A = this chain, B = another copy of it.
């Protein structure tokens, strides 16, 4: 490994001078600088981040904690975060928590142990004391909070919008799919939908589900049509479940959107490719990731007047599983 000492020797100067050149601070004579630059190029030297991080007590790493990268909503977030961070010279330490407190704790601990300069987390356990004890910039992603800066979309409004849309488009026996109880955003959109449905003049029923996974989505879809076979409007808990419901409806010979309308949530990329294409409530996942990263960077740089919370707009995307009306 080429170290700063090797460069210093090669350039015939002290390590302090090399460091000054590297960091562009302090005084360095023009020709000395040149010699050092040449030595660096000659030896193909690149400074050891670990040593730097130890002394400065901060790295260029940022911890990103997601529930499960396998759920297509999260890669979008991750990608947004990464694009923004890498542009600013930060790198990503990634963890999947599976909504499991134990794993979450482990990752937070390694983040700290590795001197990350900030953490972005999409977690449901923000209230736990680990986060309190943390004196690191923290941004919540896809979750709201009183206590920490956060970037999220308005789930309640999204739920309302989904319900309102189905009602407007003439659905009369609506089935609302309720997402996992321990996932906050799932409950927000559920609440929003319930609000809207309650004050409208429609019949509705609720199907409770306990996961968003691909494996189980089909099961929920089957259960839905078994229990509520005459439903003519379905508000899915997310697009995965929505797509499974389309599949099952087609399987059972129902016409979409004539017999049954379906609306999803998230607008994951593949909802444009289902047949029929899925109408859905869009959360701008990629942008949310970017915003979270920007917010974190501003917090790290202690820029004044950092908004504590960014609420991103949700948006109805009308495709083919809702009527044109």
Contacts and interface: CB of A to CB of B under 8 A. Distances in A.
A260 to B, nearest CB: 14
A15 interface: no
A60 B110 CA distance: 10
Interface in A170-215: 214-215
A112 B75 contact: no
A298 interface: no
A250 to B, nearest CB: 4
Nearest to A250: B275
A93 B57 CA distance: 19
Interface in A233-248: 240, 243-244, 246-247
A136 to B, nearest CB: 11
A125 to B, nearest CB: 18
Nearest to A103: B86
Interface in A81-138: 82, 86, 91-96, 103, 106-107, 109-110, 112-115
Nearest to A213: B269
A214 B246 contact: no
A169 B246 CA distance: 27
B72 A96 contact: no
Interface in A20-70: 46-51, 53-54, 57, 59-61, 68-70
Contacts of A215: 269
A270 interface: yes
A275 B273 contact: no
Consensus secondary structure, chain A interface: helix
Contacts of A276: 250
Contact of A269 (B59, B115, B214): B214
Contact of A50 (B59, B68, B82, B275): B59
27 contacts: A48-B115, A49-B113, A49-B114, A50-B114, A50-B115, A51-B54, A54-B54, A59-B114, A60-B110, A61-B114, A69-B69, A69-B78, A69-B79, A70-B75, A70-B79, A72-B75, A86-B95, A91-B107, A91-B114, A214-B270, A215-B269, A218-B272, A247-B273, A250-B275, A251-B275, A273-B274, A274-B274
| For the complex of A and B, 9 pairs with smallest distance between CB atoms | A214-B269, A49-B113, A250-B275, A94-B94, A69-B75, A247-B275, A243-B273, A50-B54, A70-B75
Given A50-B115, A246-B275, 9 more contacts: A48-B54, A50-B53, A50-B114, A70-B75, A70-B76, A72-B270, A79-B96, A215-B269, A240-B273
Interface of A: 1, 46-51, 53-54, 57, 59-61, 68-70, 72, 74-76, 78-79, 82, 86, 91-96, 103, 106-107, 109-110, 112-115, 214-215, 217-218, 240, 243-244, 246-247, 250-251, 269-270, 272-277
